[in-house]
Amino acid sequence: MKFSRLSTYLDRLEDTPSRLEITKILSELFEETSKDETPKVCYLILGTLAPNYEGVLLNLAERMMLNVLSICYDENQQKIKLLFKEKGDLGNVAQSLAKAKGDNLSVNEVYGLLLSIAKDGGAGSVERKVSAMAKLLGKLDPLSARFVSRIPVGKLRLGFSEKTIIVALSNGNKDAEIQIEEAYNIRPDIGYIAKLVKENKLESASPEVGVPIVPMLAQRLNSTNEMIDKMGEVAVEPKFDGLRIFIHYRRKGNFLKIFTRNMNAIDEGVFPELKDFGKYIKADEIILDTEAVGLDPKRQMFVDFQKTVSRRRRHEIEKNSTEIPLQFQVFDVLLCDGKNFLRMPYTTRRKEIEKVVVNGSLLKVDEYTITKDPEVIKKFHQKYLKMGLEGVVVKRASGLYVSGRTGWNWVKMKEEEGMKGRLSDTLDCIVMGYFTGKGKRAQFGLGKILVGIRDGEKIRTLTKVGTGLTEEMLVEIRKRIDKLESKEKPKEYEAQKDLVPDVWAHPSLVVEVSADSVSVSTKHSLGLSLRFPRFLKIRGDKSASQATTLKELQNIAGLK
């Protein structure tokens, strides 16, 4: 397929607000692509070059791309800057300057050139990247130049995600969609999965050391009787206030890879405790699901989440590792010596953990109790709360490892059952933008943030939050949003006209919010709003796809 042909599809997608129509267009596109092209097309239409966990980035900021356009189209930088100010979009600037005809490069050729630019590093790489990008744009027709020039600055976003691509690949077959999504959860690389679909080899998707797995998540319930009714025999485990960490290890070559719950890779140097990981494992390769919990050596107790998360900061790692040593609470195994444990019962997985993990001060195998008695769950919940933990996680004893919050396999305990609409848990909300501050907050340029939650593929407004934002946090959030700023409302957002923030942000930053209750609202696009919302913390361990959903909010607030 010629890239110019792909660009016509991108143009149609950009002009289409309907989710159904977007899916139809994508299905048409995949019918037209070859097996070899399909993975590259998947990455390109998402504005990437590889799955996020591989960290393949072009690293050409807006300022550099303005220089690229100046070189490519032989225009002085002042004119380029004026055009950018006028049009507000690099792609539109490139399209207005590009020649009528390009060299008709193929999708594979454009992808290959972009990938080589992304992989160029070392001394003089910035200059080489700028030069190579300018050369590439010079070979493209105006429409193709529009889309390619947006990719380096992350502004291609057409308002759909991997989920929409999965639906498109299924061609309207619900069973096929479920199978594709299950395979994607095991190997969250949409290009790889799309190629398997083309080759009719979807069943070959399996866990692999070095490739993250979409994590299993817990639902929320208050009633222990309901837990037993829904799950039957259960395992009761302690719930720690730590950092969810997936440890991938292969003895050959001493390979160690660490992923967060949102499947971002963490430099192993951040956790020096794991440098001799092989000593604590009786296996040649393994993937473990753990919770990294910070310890206070003086007080001999666990520290809170924020202090644990501080261990991820790149500076002062050695100092932090001494002041806040980590203990990794091991509660699941997903792969061991080539054996896939995802489709094995909880009890089988726990036996494997006990067999292969050296239980000690570094790796601590979670204790668990099997029961059918609701009173036992209550007893352990109170026990763990008194220990300074977050109560219990209750797991179906026969349950498989199912990514996401599908079915009643894992449940965390709500603290109390209140009146209808009252919030029994906190919410993980997506920062959609911010309003500039007034009074004392004017100096920070940020007064309140607009947050929303997911409703299907859409992100709808829920509340404005200002309470709980310290001066330090105002600076931090402003700094983060500056990197995510969008000149226009992102396509997946829905907001009423009187709730348009001063600055929009692309959906990436997740914050934890508490509130007294939920009430019906005609002001917010979700149809609901929060009473007395309060900012708690940034959830750097979560991505926008893992934010609270409308269904979860209704469950937490007892609205269903």
In this structure, are residues 26 and 33 in contact, taking their beta carbons and an 8 Å threshold? no
User: CA triplet 139, 145, 151: central angle to 5 degrees?
Assistant: 115
Beta-carbon-side half-sphere exposure of residue 29 (alpha carbons within 13 Å): 31
Query: Tokens standing for 505?
Result: 């942000």
In this structure, are residues 244 and 312 in contact, taking their beta carbons and an 8 Å threshold? no
Read out DSSP for 9-38?
HHHHHHT---HHHHHHHHHHHHHHS-TTHH
> Cα–Cα distances in Å, from 119 out to 55, 57, 255?
10, 8, 22
> Cα–Cα distances in Å, from 160 out to 42, 50, 243, 491, 536?
12, 17, 29, 8, 29
249 closest CA partner among 160, 336, 183: 336
CB-based contacts of 306: which residues, under 8 Å, 6+ apart? 537
Global pTM exceeds 0.85 = no
367 closest CA partner among 379, 378, 380: 380
144 closest CA partner among 194, 108, 91: 91
Select which of 155, 239, 448, 464 is catalytic: 239
- Tokens 């609409």: give the residue: 421
Give the integer Cα–Cα distance in Å for 320 and 322: 5
Query: Within a 10 A sphere around the Cβ of 390, how many other Cβ atoms?
Result: 17
Beta-carbon-side half-sphere exposure of residue 302 (alpha carbons within 13 Å): 24
Q: Which domains does the chain have, with CATH numbers?
A: 3-153 (1.10.3260.10), 219-413 (3.30.470.30), 427-556 (2.40.50.140)
166 closest CA partner among 150, 154, 182, 155: 182
CB-based contacts of 276: which residues, under 8 Å, 6+ apart? none
**Which neighbouring-strand residues pair with 392?**
238
pLDDT at residue number 69: 96
Give the integer Cα–Cα distance in Å for 433 and 446: 10
**Which neighbouring-strand residues pair with 235?**
370, 395
In the chain, what's the furthest Cα-to-Cα distance? Answer: 76
Annotation says 239 is catalytic: yes
In this structure, are residues 24 and 9 in contact, taking their beta carbons and an 8 Å threshold? no
Query: Tokens standing for 116?
Result: 């080589």
Element (H, E) at 453: strand 448-455
Amino acid residing at 424: S
249 closest CA partner among 166, 165, 335, 313: 335
In this structure, are residues 547 and 428 in contact, taking their beta carbons and an 8 Å threshold? yes
pLDDT at residue number 302: 65
Q: What is the CA radius of gyration of the chain?
A: 25
Give the integer Cα–Cα distance in Å for 432 and 493: 8
Residue 122 burial (10 A CB sphere; 0-12, 13-18, 19+): exposed
Give the integer Cα–Cα distance in Å for 285 and 289: 14
Helices vs. strands in the chain: H and E counts, helices first:
19, 23
Query: Within a 10 A sphere around the Cβ of 258, how many other Cβ atoms?
Result: 21
Read out DSSP for 193-226?
HHHHHHTT-GGG----TTS--PPB--EEES-HHH
Task: Please report, in tens digits, the pLDDT of each residue of the chain (560 residues total).
Answer: 999 999 999 999 999 888 899 999 999 999 999 999 999 999 999 999 999 889 898 989 889 999 999 999 999 999 999 999 888 889 999 999 998 788 889 999 999 999 999 999 899 999 999 999 999 999 999 999 999 999 998 888 787 889 899 999 999 899 999 999 999 999 999 999 999 999 999 999 999 999 999 999 888 888 999 999 999 999 999 999 888 999 999 999 999 999 988 888 888 788 899 999 999 999 999 999 999 998 765 545 566 555 555 555 544 555 555 567 889 999 999 999 999 999 999 999 999 999 999 999 899 999 999 999 999 999 999 999 998 888 999 999 999 999 887 789 999 886 554 445 567 678 999 999 999 877 667 667 788 999 999 998 899 999 999 999 888 888 889 889 988 888 889 989 999 888 899 999 999 999 999 888 888 888 899 989 998 899 999 998 888 888 999 988 887 777 76
Dump pLDDT digits (tens) for 117-167. 999 989 999 999 999 999 999 999 999 999 999 999 888 878 788 989 999
Element (H, E) at 291: strand 285-296
